[in-house]
Chains A and B, each alone.
Chain A
Amino acid sequence: MRSEERLGWALSLPGLAVISAIAVFPIGWTAWESLHVHDLRMPWLGRPFVGLANYAEALSSPRFWDAMAHTAVFTAVTVTVELIGGLFLALIVDRISRGRDLVRTTVLLPWAIPTVVVALVWRFLFENPAGLVNAVLFRLGMSSPTWFADATAAWVPLMLADAWKMTPFVAVLLLAGLQSIDRSLYEAARIDGAGWGRQLTALTLPLLRPALLVAFIFRTLDAIRVFDVIYVMTGGGPGTATEPIALLTFSMLLQNLRFGFGAALSMIVFAVTFVLAVVFIRVLGRDALTGRVA
Chain B
Amino acid sequence: MLRAASRRLVAVDAAAHRPWVAIVFAIAALSAGCGAGQDPHVLMFAGSAVGAEADAIRGQLNRFHAMHPSIRVELRATPDAADQRHQLYVQWLNAHAPDPDVLQLDVVWTPEFAAAGWILDLDQFHAPTSDFFPAAVAANRWNGVLYALPWFIDVGMLYWRTDLMSHPPATIDDLQRLATVAIEQHGVPFGLVWQGARYEGLVTVFLEYLGAFGGAILDTDGRVALNSNAAVTALTTMRDEIHVDRIVPPAVLTWQEEQVRFAFQNGQAAFMRNWPYAFTLLQDASQSRVAGRFRVASMPAGAGGAPTSALGGSVLAINAYTGDRDAAYRLIDYLLQPEQLLERARVVGQYPPRPTLYDTPALAEALPIAPHDARDIIDRAVARPVTPVYTELSEILQIALHRALTNQQEPRAALEEAAASIQALLDKAGLSAER
Q: Which residues of A contact B (CB under 8 A)?
A: 40-45, 127, 129, 146, 148-151, 235-241, 251, 254-257
Contacts and interface: CB of A to CB of B under 8 A. Distances in A.
Given A129-B251, A148-B253, A239-B198, A41 B90 contact: yes
Interface of A: prevailing SS? loop
Interface string B396-412: 00011011011011000
B90 A40 contact: yes
Given A148-B254, A237-B198, A40 B94 contact: yes
A42 B83 contact: no
B250 A44 contact: no
Interface of B: prevailing SS? helix
B83 A255 contact: yes
B355 to A, nearest CB: 33
Interface string B251-262: 101100000000
A257 B116 CA distance: 14
B77 interface: no
Interface string B114-125: 011100000000
Given A238-B403, A256-B391, A151 B90 contact: no
B238 to A, nearest CB: 13
A41 B402 CA distance: 25
Given A40-B94, A255-B395, 10 more contacts: A40-B90, A41-B90, A41-B388, A149-B253, A238-B198, A238-B402, A239-B409, A240-B403, A255-B83, A256-B392
Given A41-B112, A43-B94, A255-B83, A146 B392 contact: no
Q: Which of A40, A150, A151, A239 counts the most chain B CB atoms within 10 A?
A: A239
B158 interface: no
Contacts of B389: 41-42
Given A45-B429, A255-B83, A237 B402 contact: yes
A153 to B, nearest CB: 10
Contacts of B395: 251, 255-256
A129 B190 CA distance: 13
A279 to B, nearest CB: 34
A42 to B, nearest CB: 5
Contacts of A238: 198, 253, 402-403, 405-406, 408
Interface of B: 83, 87, 90, 94, 112, 115-117, 197-199, 249-251, 253-254, 388-389, 391-392, 395, 399-400, 402-403, 405-406, 408-409, 429-430
Contacts of B90: 40-41, 257
Contacts of A251: 395
A44 B251 CA distance: 42
B430 A43 contact: no
Contacts of B403: 238-241
A239 B115 contact: no
26 contacts: A41-B90, A41-B116, A41-B388, A42-B115, A42-B116, A42-B388, A42-B389, A42-B429, A44-B115, A45-B429, A129-B249, A146-B250, A149-B250, A149-B405, A235-B198, A237-B197, A237-B402, A237-B406, A238-B408, A239-B399, A239-B402, A239-B403, A239-B409, A241-B406, A251-B395, A256-B392
A235 B197 CA distance: 10
A40 B115 CA distance: 12
A127 B399 CA distance: 20
Contacts of B399: 239-240
A237 B83 CA distance: 18
Nearest to A152: B408
B406 A41 contact: no
A239 B408 contact: yes
B37 to A, nearest CB: 34
B371 to A, nearest CB: 37
Nearest to A148: B254
Contacts of A235: 197-199
A41 B83 CA distance: 13
Nearest to A237: B198
A148 B391 CA distance: 24
Q: Which of A42, A241, A255, A257 counts the most chain B CB atoms within 10 A?
A: A42
B198 A146 contact: no
A44 B112 CA distance: 11
A44 B430 CA distance: 9
A146 B242 CA distance: 12
A275 B116 CA distance: 40
Nearest to A61: B421
Contact of B253 (A146, A236, A254, A255): A146
Nearest to A150: B406
A236 B116 CA distance: 30
B395 to A, nearest CB: 7
Contacts of A256: 391-392, 395
A41 B408 contact: no
A146 B430 contact: no
Contacts of A239: 198, 399-400, 402-403, 406, 408-409
Contacts of B249: 129
Contacts of A44: 115-117, 430
A202 B157 CA distance: 70
B430 A149 contact: no
A292 B403 CA distance: 51
Nearest to A243: B399
Which 3 residue pairs are nearest across A and B when measured between Cβ atoms?
A149-B253, A239-B403, A238-B406
A221 B6 CA distance: 49
Contacts of A257: 87, 90
A43 B116 contact: yes
A254 B87 contact: yes
Nearest to B424: A57
A206 B235 CA distance: 58
Contacts of B405: 149, 238
Contacts of B391: 41, 255-256
Nearest to B115: A44
Contacts of A254: 87
A238 B249 CA distance: 15
A40 B90 CA distance: 7
A40 B116 CA distance: 9
B346 to A, nearest CB: 36
Contacts of B406: 149-151, 237-239, 241
Nearest to B198: A237
Contacts of B199: 235
A149 B115 contact: no
Contacts of B430: 44-45
Nearest to B116: A43
